[in-house]
Homo-oligomer: A and B are copies of this chain.
Amino acid sequence: MPADQPNPAVAFAKHDHSDCAHRILDRAEKLSEARGVRLTPVRRRTLEILLESHRAMGAYEVLERLAQDGFGHQPPVAYRALDFLVEHGLAHRIRRLNAFAACMAPGQTHNPVFFICRACQSVAESSTPELRDRIDAAADAIGFEVERANVEALGLCPACADREE
């Protein structure tokens, strides 16, 4: 596993998270540069906000933070920035929560599985190509062409599982 491939377990463990955040922001800058797209102030700030924790955040929660920082106060401000991040693989949409989370492995082709703790709302992203292979196999069997696949697992993170019992 390369150095910049984070261990998904870290999302549920105590760790120097500002380190995660800085590493990923740097990577986001470089990726945007390389692709010729602009990581503008709102977009960058939006990513920073998502990176403040391993939780998923709703668009309105992000918006509130952006507004405090002097950006616009209306929903499209947040949705546009979030859509940009999602489109460029810098964030993911967590559909079960109607929320967004920073991607923890931007730039790497990954078929993410999201593990969502129903108690503390933290989200871990694990990269599992074999899973995608299985989905493609099932799709082939019925002649379906998969363009994107989304896997979300709901349950309890280690800490919250301990706490329940």
Interface residues of chain A, those whose CB is within 8 Å of chain B, are 7-9, 11-12, 95-96, 113, 115, 117-118, 124, 126, 128, 130-131, 134-135, 138-139, 141-158, 161
Contacts and interface: CB of A to CB of B under 8 A. Distances in A.
Contacts of A157: 143-144
A18 to B, nearest CB: 21
- Counting every copy of the chain, the complex holds 2
A131 B34 CA distance: 35
A152 B154 contact: no
A130 to B, nearest CB: 6
B124 A142 contact: yes
24 contacts: A8-B142, A9-B142, A11-B142, A12-B143, A95-B152, A113-B135, A126-B141, A126-B142, A128-B134, A131-B131, A131-B134, A134-B134, A139-B153, A144-B153, A144-B156, A144-B158, A145-B156, A146-B154, A146-B155, A147-B155, A149-B154, A150-B153, A150-B154, A151-B151
